[in-house]
A and B are shown apart, each in its own frame.
Chain A
Amino acid sequence: MTAPLARLLRTTAFKLSLLYLAVFTGLSGFLLFSVSHNTDSLMTEQVVQTVDAEIQGLSDQYARGGARALVSAIDSRARRPDASLYLFVDFAGNVLAGNISRLPTTVLEEADGGVRRVKYARGEGEMEREAVVRTFEVPGGFRLLVGRDLGEQARFRDILAGALRVWLVVVILMAVVTWAFVSRRVLKRIDAMAASSRQIMDGNLSQRLPLAGNGDEFDRLAVSLNAMLDRIELLMQGLRDVTDNIAHDLKTPLTRLRSRLETTLREARGEADLREALEATIEDSEGLIRIFDALLRIARVEAMSPDRGLEPVDVRAIAEEMAELYGPVLEDEGGRLSLDLAPVPKALGNRELIAQALVNLIENALKYARTDDGQPLSITVMVRQEKDRILLSVADNGPGIMAKDRDRVVDRFVRLEQSRSEPGYGLGLSLVRAIARLHGGTLVLADAQPGLLARLDLVAAPDAKTGGEGRNGDDRS
């Protein structure tokens, strides 16, 4: 078997067409057989009834006028168009009347009145035909045969057989058309999808499955698979980012750590030097662990499925707890942390992650919002509702972030202060953005005039009740 034919036989379209053909042929055959069989029985029954009526008429003739009257009745009936079959013979087998010239001899011998199917011919040289006959003995050694030609039934069967042949041709044609349609339309789509999948597997992750645009099952499948590919691409991008970040930003502190150890090994003069170097090394390694943890946490949050682990969360309560936790820190530094909470319904979220995001925003303000003019640091945590979104914002009165830097400051390891002498790794806002995305929201940085306003929007939990009374201007100083 050649390869293209083998491939053809393996296709679903071919198998479907073959199945379609088999089922339709089977059904048509069954229908025709049953019609033909029932019609045949009905027609035979009618023939037998006609024969019986003829016999009745002839036996009346015989009763009234004997053999002579019978002969004359048969002669007159035999001349009619569409005449039945008659044969009247004497004891020696001589034909006295009738319209049959040839007949198997046994038929006249078994004159028991039973119904038989026989072959006969009307005239000399005519073709043999089929008939249903009854043969009787008539007193005086005569025998009478009356029958009916079955030509009509045969013609009817021929017509049915013809119809069956035409029907089969139609069915086969339909199967071919179906196969052509399925293979052209459906298989082509599947082949196109398979080709795209191969390209994607070869590493071209930006490739997507083709859409016909008619919204059929294949389009719906392609849309779902494309959405899955979008997600995979995003995760792969995240993975690449983490790898790149590790390469770029973790190598520096690792190199510093290594140089310090080498220098100490070379130059240390006593236990005090060693101890000092080891303590500095532990401090550095703790910093590295923090960076790793932060990176992993961001990657983990980015990879989390949004419908997993999100439940109705009281954002106001989180804001209050975090203000209670951080209020004293600001107070010790002469600043103040205020709460501005409007009554809002619960948000759909993860309590720990929302708290983490809020902590990152507050710590960000603590680190970067110190004013140069000696004005005390003021941080305000706000909770508001806007349609079905819960807005959680942190505003400070620091120097803020220039509009051109606001987009990139949320990228990993981005720190606006170039000397990098301030504490921090530039990962805090990346984590907040990842948390916002997990919650189906965004992190927006804006101008608080003065200072920075960082706003996180969360989705309100469905059917959540509105929270308690607002506590506007609740100072925690």
Chain B
Amino acid sequence: MMRILIIEDDKQASAYLAKGLKEVGHMADQAADGDEGLSMALDGAYDVLIVDRMLPRRDGLSVIQALRKSGNHTPVLILSALGQVDDRVTGLRAGGDDYLPKPYAFTELLARVEALGRRPKSGGDVETVYRVADLELDRLAHRCTRAGRDIPLQPREFRLLEYLMQHAGQVVTRTMLLENVWEYHFDPQTNVIDVHISRLRSKIDKDFDTPLLQTVRGAGYTIRTGSGREGADRDSTAG
């Protein structure tokens, strides 16, 4: 469960978002303009902020800049009708942590919010080994094993699995994978990401009874044990 603040002036969109977030078990507060949003963000202890770029009284980027200036590092997801690469760059440079262009699918927003909420805090412990059930990914040794058996992975497959395991238990969309694993921001028309996922799946799931890498229909993929939403069991090493 996360506490999420939605700063969005379109009441309908904001209510729809809040309702959706509450349905999956999060707490959601709403602010209708930049000033109100900034003061709520500064007062309340939120896990993630969802900020629209174009807001009355104080625009979204200025809210984020003011927040960062005051030493608040709550992860921010920027929502905007401006979705081109340079718009994203501007948003991320202003202090945003992720950027989602409108119109968006709720599943994608949820996936991104959860990814932000569970992201390792900077300066804290850095996980060097990710574990989900009997699957282990050693980031230092660059080694992947399942039930003690070595699974050879290509570098890109390794990064793909790494990103999925980093967000274990959460839905990760195709766009998030393209952005974070290949570092490109475009919308492929073909099933290009699915092909890579299916290759990875054939390596980590094929010879085992429990499939770990699952497709979430209409949304993306998730690494999870069984059907629960539990997160990854992680080893932490002070770093």
Contact = CB atoms under 8 A, between A and B. Distances in A.
Interface of A: 286, 289-290, 293, 296-297, 300, 309, 321, 324-326, 328-329, 332, 350, 352-353, 355-356, 359, 363, 366-367, 423-424, 428
Interface string B186-226: 11111110011011000000000000000000000000000
B156 A363 contact: no
Contact of B187 (A290, A321, A328): A290
A359 B86 contact: no
B184 A332 contact: no
A328 B186 contact: no
Given A352-B184, A363-B188, A366-B190, A324 B156 contact: yes
Please list the 5 inter-chain residue pairs (A to B) with the smallest Cβ-Cβ separation, ordered nearest first: A328-B195, A356-B186, A352-B85, A329-B195, A329-B192
A289 B175 CA distance: 15
A297 B189 CA distance: 15
A324 B196 CA distance: 10
B188 A332 contact: no
Given A321-B182, A325-B192, A329-B195, 8 more contacts: A297-B84, A309-B86, A324-B156, A328-B196, A329-B190, A355-B184, A363-B188, A366-B190
Interface string B166-188: 00000000000000001011111
Name the prevailing secondary structure of the A interface residues. helix
B102 to A, nearest CB: 9
B188 A328 contact: no
Contact of B192 (A293, A326, A352): A326
Name the prevailing secondary structure of the B interface residues. loop
Interface residues of B, number: 21
Interface string B44-60: 00000000000000000
Contacts of B199: 328
B188 A293 contact: no
B192 A300 contact: no
Contacts of A309: 86
Nearest to B185: A352
A349 to B, nearest CB: 13
A73 B192 CA distance: 131
A428 B189 CA distance: 10
Given A321-B182, A325-B182, A352-B184, A293 B190 contact: no
18 contacts: A286-B105, A300-B84, A309-B86, A321-B182, A321-B184, A324-B156, A325-B182, A325-B192, A325-B196, A329-B190, A329-B191, A329-B192, A352-B184, A352-B186, A353-B85, A359-B188, A363-B189, A363-B190
Contact of B189 (A328, A355, A423): A423
Contacts of A424: 189
A355 B186 contact: yes
Contacts of A428: 189
B103 interface: yes
B20 interface: no
A429 to B, nearest CB: 13
B83 interface: yes
B105 to A, nearest CB: 8
A332 to B, nearest CB: 6
Contacts of A289: 103
Residue among B103, B184, B189, B196 with the highest chain A CB neighbour number at 10 A: B189
A390 to B, nearest CB: 19
Residue among A332, A352, A353 with the highest chain B CB neighbour number at 10 A: A352
A297 B186 CA distance: 10
Nearest to A331: B195
Contacts of B191: 329
Nearest to B103: A289
Contacts of A329: 190-192, 195
Contacts of B86: 309
A395 B48 CA distance: 47
Nearest to A424: B189
Contacts of A355: 184, 186
Contacts of A297: 84
Contacts of B198: 332
Residue among B185, B192, B196 with the highest chain A CB neighbour number at 10 A: B192
Nearest to B83: A293
